[in-house]
């Protein structure tokens, strides 16, 4: 059973322009951590050796949002402000593909079980699919106008699962386009982030209610309230040991939750840093994108066995509560 972890700061990697808006992260096949710079129209790469590179896209205002590793070894990302899906190779060469629907507002993206990338269209209420050749298909979500489909993740059942931020629901779509809906029990939950855990369950954040949710592939839902309802949980990722890690952007913290409901909150050095995306790097470190202007690399260790190396000289305090 996973046990609580301590979390310590290793190093902060500032981006060239603090106003560029580091937003989402993904681990690439090259061992690097890749980051969207949503306000600058750039993609950043943090190499395993600690070098931070930035690659400009063809439009500063394209709004790169979510990013995911593709089955072809490239990174794929949504361009929410110009209705395109971008692709960047690990050497920095980038291109993009236009979507057939104007005003789609592509946002979440994830690799699917069929070798394609699946993405949400937040403004038009559709789920899209793009293969590695750039061919796009769109699937409408009947009766869900204005639902704002947000992030998306591949489930262990061969389907794609996604959050419906304004409908307070979790959606599921099969590779052949069959859609089902799972309403959440909490009004105003406003789910955003979603990830698949090693046990096959899907975990998600409720940014409106300050909760972490879990849904089984059979559709059974449970919720875990966080100590501060206004903490604004945003992105979430799962560790190999089954623990869940998520950003609390309004309170400047990283949260961790074991499947049995043990919560630990880890304050970041700057409470106003606004952590958004997070991902585990190839070396096991946890990286988070700070909208204040950088990528923060953290180290974790068993709370029982010891403390992680703190190269940055800043240790995290732990705030614990039971979420069961």
SS3 303: coil
Which is nearest to 275 in space by CA: 311, 243, 251, 302? 251
Q: Is-contact 134 105, C-beta < 8 A?
A: no
Residue whose pair of structure tokens reads 């710079």 in the numeric block: 37
Which is nearest to 212 in space by CA: 251, 175, 259? 259
Tokens of 159: 């389907």
Q: Is-contact 321 313, C-beta < 8 A?
A: no
Give the whole-angstrom CA distance, residue 71 versus residue 215.
Answer: 26
Tokens of 308: 């992680």
Count of C-beta atoms within a 10 Å radius of residue 1 = 9
Exactly one of 139, 234, 262, 276 is catalytic; name it.
276
Q: Could you confirm whether 276 is annotated as catalytic?
A: yes
Strand partners, 169: 164, 183
Element (H, E) at 169: strand 169-173
Give the whole-angstrom CA distance, residue 274 versus residue 250.
Answer: 6
Q: Is-contact 71 91, C-beta < 8 A?
A: no
SS3 75: strand
The dihedral region occupied by 83, where left means phi > 0, alpha psi between -120 and 50, and beta the remainder, is left
Residue whose pair of structure tokens reads 């069959």 in the numeric block: 178
Give the whole-angstrom CA distance, residue 71 versus residue 29.
Answer: 9
Catalytic residues: 276
């Amino acid at each position: 059973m996973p046990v609580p972890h301590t979390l310590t700061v290793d190093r902060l990697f500032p981006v060239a322009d603090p106003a560029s808006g580091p937003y989402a992260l993904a681990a690439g096949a090259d061992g690097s951590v890749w980051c969207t710079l949503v306000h600058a129209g750039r993609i950043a790469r943090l190499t395993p050796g600690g070098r931070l590179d930035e690659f400009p896209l063809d439009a500063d205002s394209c709004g790169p949002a979510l990013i995911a590793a593709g089955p072809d070894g490239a990174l794929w990302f949504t361009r929410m402000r110009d209705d395109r899906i971008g692709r960047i190779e690990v050497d920095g060469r980038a291109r993009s593909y236009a979507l057939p629907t104007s005003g789609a507002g592509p946002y979440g993206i994830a690799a699917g079980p069929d070798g394609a990338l699946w993405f949400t269209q937040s403004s038009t209420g559709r789920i899209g699919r793009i293969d590695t050749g750039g061919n796009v298909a769109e699937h409408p979500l009947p009766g869900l106008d204005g639902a704002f489909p947000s992030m998306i993740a591949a489930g262990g059942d061969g389907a794609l699962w996604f959050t419906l931020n304004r409908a307070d629901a979790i959606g599921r779509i099969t590779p052949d386009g069959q859609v089902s809906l799972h309403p959440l029990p909490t009004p105003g939950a406003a789910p955003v982030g979603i990830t698949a855990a090693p046990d096959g369950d899907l975990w998600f954040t409720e940014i409106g209610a300050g909760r972490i949710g879990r849904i089984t592939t059979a559709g059974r839902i449970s919720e875990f309230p966080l100590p501060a309802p206004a903490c604004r949980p945003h992105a979430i990722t799962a560790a190999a040991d089954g623990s869940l890690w998520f950003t609390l952007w309004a309170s400047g913290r990283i949260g961790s939750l074991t499947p049995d409901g043990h919560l630990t909150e880890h304050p970041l050095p700057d409470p106003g840093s606004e952590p958004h995306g997070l991902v585990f790097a190839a070396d096991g470190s946890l990286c988070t994108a700070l909208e204040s202007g950088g990528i923060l690399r953290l180290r974790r260790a068993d709370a029982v066995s010891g403390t992680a190396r703190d190269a940055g000289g800043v240790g995290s305090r732990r705030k614990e509560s039971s979420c069961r």
